Chains A and B, each alone.
Chain A
Amino acid sequence: MSVLVGGDTRLLVQGITGSEGTFHTLRNRDYGTKVVAGVTPGKAGQQVDGIPVFDTVADAVGETGANTSMVFVPPRFAAEAILEAADAGVGLVVAITEGIPVKDMAQVHSFLKGTTTRLVGPNCPGVITPGVANVGIIPGEVCLPGRVGFVSRSGTLVYQIVYELTSKGIGQSTCIGMGGDPVHGVGFIEALRLFEDDPDTDLIILTGEIGGDDEERAAAFIDGDVSKPVVAYIAGFEAPPGKRMGHAGAIVTGSTGTAAAKAAALEAAGVEVARTPSQVAHIVAGRLRR
């Protein structure tokens, strides 16, 4: 078992013919993901290493039964791509694209409320269920199948921490990179709910960063609705207010969104908060021995 992606994932890739799109599509397929289709408008009938390309998502879904889409479309067209996938009934859309205007994402957010489509991202590294399926750009070689669920706003912190877990022989059920944009799809609360309900996840790691109140709301949810142990890490204690730290959403605005407030909220909810990324793996190892 796993969450979001697994053995029943049938992946289509929007923007498959771009260089990044092709590169990661083939990496995902090499990892074991069932990649069934690609979409690039105007390129129907072509193939990418044997993967059929369609003009529209609706055509691709109709012909191949794709149930998951990965979006590698450039920022100015990416919101349209997500809307198209949702309208075609795709159940999960993983948007890797960085730099989508937030107004476009707010409109997508509004549209998705009336659909059954779940969005991960944008500006995210994707989702991996180690040993089974990889949808996105997480380096599968650092992962190990196991029973720790992981959700993170930052991609590289996932890689770093997963690498340390794997080095200690601690495997992962599913790793979700939810992305660094202010308006995004699946957040901490939805990921926590998925992991809480997943019989093959024993412990959940949550890594957050400055900006917004996702971590504070996650803390309230953990307090009331999560029975499994949660270990957290927050980046950005040294970030000055008003400066965007790489990610579009990573900015302390006035007095809100500070790392200290997020760590305090999580600790108040009984979550052990690591001080450094390396400490996360140590704490998890200790928790799992108990």
Chain B
Amino acid sequence: MDLFEHMGKDLFRAHAIATPRGIVATTPDEAGLATVELGGRSVVKVQVQVGGRGRGGGVVLVDSPERAVEEAERMFGAAFKDHTVTQVLVEELLPIAREFYTSMVLDRSTGSYLAMMTAEGGVDIETLAVEHPGELRRVHVDPGLGLRAWHVRQLTSVLPLDAREGVGDVLRKMWGLVLEADATLVEINPLVQLDDGSVVALDAKVTIDDNAMFRHADIEALASQFPIDPVEQRARDADLQYVKLDGEVGIIGNGAGLVMSTLDVVAQAGGRAANFLDIGGGASADTMSTSLEVILSDPAVKAVFINIFGGITRCDVVANGILEALSRVEATVPLVVRLDGTNADEGRAILAVASHPKIVPVATMDEAAAEAARVAGAEA
């Protein structure tokens, strides 16, 4: 789960990492009042689950409450990189002497954590790593041994001498946060040293492992603040693995790999998938009818492609599940159904006998994808 900046900063403060004073505003007027409270000047920052805010007009310095209201109005008025804006963070301005970059991220290639540091703040780290790899300090941290003194010395060795102690202190607290909050990413860009020498996290980009939410009810509860597409919300309520896409062929399949593959095969056939939906191992009538409800509630969907491989779940059971689902949910568009695997012949026979007017049975995945793309194109 990607946290909003202000949520990340709450975690920082809980781990004694200093942040600027900030107030979350949900209306332009609140942004104005917050700016008054912060002394008449502030920085207004959109709160979205996506990066690149600085270059995209999502972070603006204002020198009056009126300007804060104007900027907040502009931010609330339009989506930021396709993300709906419902909150802005209004923060105090600080006397910055120097800016740095630091991050700790789960490194899947090595099964450990990667800590990084550069003496330049506000940089795009992927670009820097390619263009000036020498300026980026990288150390792997074994979760068994933890962050050691030499890691900290190595990382801070790229910084001016008088910044090393303060930044080293932040690094140790970051590592504590990584472990305690099950963070897979903590990035501070920039981490700043103020005129008085103190070190403050000016930004916070934090991702928490979805699999670890059972340990973090407080963090899980934050998800209600994220704007969510109503169709995605419905799928989430039903515990379905669903991702909305912007095509016209609704997809239902079993198994993440097979569903991903289905999106690709539909695209190769000239169609575009409207979603990713994995119903997992069981293709019961209940799961199937909820999935159909979710998918058909997306008005862009012109055809549905049900792509099932029967393994332990037999295709005759799946076929009956589809028919029962259709007795509960009205199919408003054609359903192209491909059943393969265990008892595929029996499953296809059940669909043939039922000869439901909206079901188009097709034998192979490639042919079914082509048919779904064709039908969706004809209906559009």
Residues in A lying within 8 Å of B, measured CB to CB: 27, 75-76, 99-103, 105-107, 109-111, 137-139, 141-142, 152-157, 159-160, 163, 180, 182-183, 207, 209-214, 217, 233, 235-240, 242-250, 254-255, 259, 275-278
Contacts and interface: CB of A to CB of B under 8 A. Distances in A.
Contacts of B276: 239, 243, 245-246
28 contacts: A99-B211, A101-B212, A103-B143, A103-B178, A103-B212, A106-B112, A110-B111, A110-B143, A156-B253, A156-B258, A156-B309, A157-B255, A159-B255, A160-B365, A163-B340, A180-B256, A233-B261, A235-B260, A238-B263, A238-B273, A239-B263, A244-B210, A246-B257, A246-B260, A246-B278, A254-B126, A255-B126, A259-B264
Interface of B: 50, 106, 108-109, 111-113, 126, 142-145, 178-179, 182, 184, 209-212, 214-215, 241, 243, 245, 253-261, 263-268, 272-273, 276, 278, 309, 311-312, 340-342, 364-366
Given A163-B341, A235-B264, A236-B260, 5 more contacts: A102-B209, A156-B253, A207-B257, A238-B266, A277-B261
B106 A106 contact: yes
Say what secondary structure dominates the interface of chain B: mixed
Contacts of A276: 261, 264-265, 268, 365-366
Q: Which of B113, B209, B214, B241 has most chain A Cβ within 10 Å?
A: B209
B34 to A, nearest CB: 29
Nearest to A247: B256
A159 to B, nearest CB: 5
Nearest to A210: B260
B220 to A, nearest CB: 13
A138 B257 CA distance: 14
Contacts, number: 172
A102 B106 contact: yes
Given A142-B341, A155-B257, A111 B126 contact: no
A154 B262 CA distance: 13
Q: Which of B50, B112, B264 has most chain A Cβ within 10 Å?
A: B264
Nearest to B258: A156
A244 to B, nearest CB: 7
Nearest to B261: A235
Contacts of A180: 256-257
A109 B112 contact: yes
Contacts of A244: 210, 243
B109 A212 contact: yes
A246 B259 contact: yes
B264 A245 contact: no
Given A182-B106, A217-B109, A276-B268, A103 B182 contact: yes
Given A163-B340, A276-B365, A102 B243 contact: no
B144 A183 contact: no
